[in-house]
Structure 1
Amino acid sequence: MSRNKMVMTALKLAVASLSFVCTFSGAADQPAPDFKRSISNLRGQRYCEVLYGKRHWLNLEVKVFNTQGLNLCPEDQWKALSKESIEKAYDASFVVLNGPRYWMMDEIQAAGETVNSVKESFGGMEMNLRATIDLSLLKQLMGSKHYTPNKISRTTNFIYRAGGSIYELTSPAGEVYVMQSYSQIVNPALNIKDLPILDKQLKLPAGWVYSSRVLDQDLSLVANGVAYVLQDNLSNSYQRR
């Protein structure tokens, strides 16, 4: 695999989820987040992301833009986007088109730097800036594997409502990751009806288990500054409980 391809794969794994009782992913001694923004009725909602980066020696500055709250990533506009035009417009070293994806939580609350009003238009499709990240080359290469958690800086609360289904990956060590979005990047035909039996399509590493269940009470996944996120081999994203 070429270095550029490894970098792009790593970025997809690391930032697919940067847009938007509790289990905390942040430090226990940090104060509870003061959530300033909330978006509801998200389950099954389509979104897309554009990531572009500039290389500075062995580091990359990556900007992550997301359609959430602005549009539903219209298929014709998404297909019309090209990496080359974005690279030229933003003098970028590389571009990743990450989508389409579909949210699996019911509500997102955000705080801190996760909330901002910076917008860009890509092929006429508006997107908000969700994060700016500096990634060293070593970290990019180390984060380029599926089923490997990446440490993401963000302050969010992903809320899954009682009565809804959730889909989880459990590691050999007993760590549980809840699906936050499913993707049509690898399998364009994947839809929400496939998720209860998704293990038939997954290439699970030894000791990993995929399961689904219906919640009997609300579930909140709070990232208090830090979230641990991974992707399966179909580019579906999960956050650690």
Structure 2
Amino acid sequence: MTNKFLRYVSGTLALCLILASGGAVSAEGNPVETVDLSDIRAMRYCEFLLIFDDRIVIYNTSASNDCPEADWAAMDVDAIAADHGANKAQLNGPHFWAMDKQTLGLGETKTFGGIEARYAATLPLAALGSGQGADPYKPYVSAKLQTMVFEAGKPVYQLVDPAGNTYVMNAYGEEVRDGDPGNLAEQLSLAEGWQFETVTPTEDLVVEGTMDKPVDMVGDDMHQYYTRYGTAGQ
């Protein structure tokens, strides 16, 4: 039984959609609907990657289930690839959302080893890279349909780059000590000039991404991913 885990740039659901006159459709040609998720801070989710000759197709459990541990641990990626006609399959997760609410685009449902997940993204094959995700502390651009809400009075976890740009954490992994992202202040090996901080906003923080306006993102050295917001120094 093979069990491979991949951390990659879609840890924040970098959704690749085609906007058609009749609504949104996925790059696979299937309808995509807007889904609202609430009360999701620390909610567990997992992702399945189907790897084809020219693309990676990603399915996410966030709107379906909490990715049951027993089923997840028993996943056979070779069987998943065969069942879905892919060259290979890989697993990503589990992860835990860092926001309180979000709106995102999701498509068709498929079943992977007994776990249901919905279409979340299609990425170019080059996004697979070495299988270790984006280079830490090197920002990249992502077009995604996603609105994240971090409620006032609750901790928000951020990276600040040498120029003062702020990136808010989208989700975190199992390696975070005690499941508390605040502990990353001691766990991360920050690049020169970068800072990690925990802040508590007095108003709801809303970070919005659309296909028309790509956002800047960055990963840390433990494969958490963050979205830039605001202006430098704020």
TM-score (normalizing by structure 2): 0.79
Residue matched to 2:77:
83
Q: Superposition pairs for residues 34-183 of structure 1, below 5 Å? A: 36-55=34-53, 60-110=54-104, 114-116=105-107, 118-136=108-126, 140=129, 144-183=134-173
In 2: Cα distance, 1:129 partner to 1:66 partner = 6
Q: In the alignment, which residue of structure 1 is the partner of 2:228? A: 240
Return the letter of the residue paired with 1:218.
Answer: D
How far did 1:19 drift? Answer: 6.7
The match for 1:210 is: 196
> Take 1:81 and 1:119, find their aligned partners in 2: how far apart are those partners?
18
Query: Are residues 190 and 65 of structure 1, via their aligned partners in 2, closer, same or farther at CA, if it must alter by over 3 Å?
Result: farther
Q: How far does residue 228 in structure 1 lie from its aligned partner after superposition?
A: 2.7
Is 2:162–2:194's contact at 8 Å kept on the other side of the alignment?
yes
Question: What percentage of aligned pairs have identical amino acids?
Answer: 28
**Equivalents in 2 of 1:48, 1:197: separation in Å?**
22
1:149 is displaced (CA, Å) by 2.6
Whole-angstrom distance in 1 between the partners of 2:88 and 2:162: 35
Question: Helix, strand or coil for the counterpart of 1:86?
Answer: helix
> How far, CA to CA, are the matches of 2:49 and 2:122 in structure 1?
10
Whether contact under 8 Å (1:106, 1:159) holds in the other structure is yes
- Normalised to the residue count of structure 1, the TM-score between the two structures is 0.77
Amino acid at match of 1:203: S
Segment of structure 1 superposing worse, 214-223 or 172-181? 172-181
Contact (CA 8 Å) 1:39, 1:108: kept in 2 or not?
Answer: yes
Equivalent residues of 2:134, 2:219 under 8 A apart: no
Distance of 2:102 and 2:95 partners within structure 1: 15
Helix, strand or coil at the partner of 2:13:
coil
Residues paired across the two proteins, number: 206
Higher helix share: 1
Structure 1 gap ranges (5+): 21-34
Q: Which has the higher contact order (CA 8 A, sep 6+)?
A: 1
Instruction: Give CA-to-partner distance per residue, 1:66-116, whole Å, 9 cap, x none.
Output: 111211011000000122222222332332211110001011123xxx243
Shift in Å, 1:156: 1.4
Partner of 1:18: 13
Return 5+ residue gaps in structure 2 as ranges. Answer: 16-32, 230-234
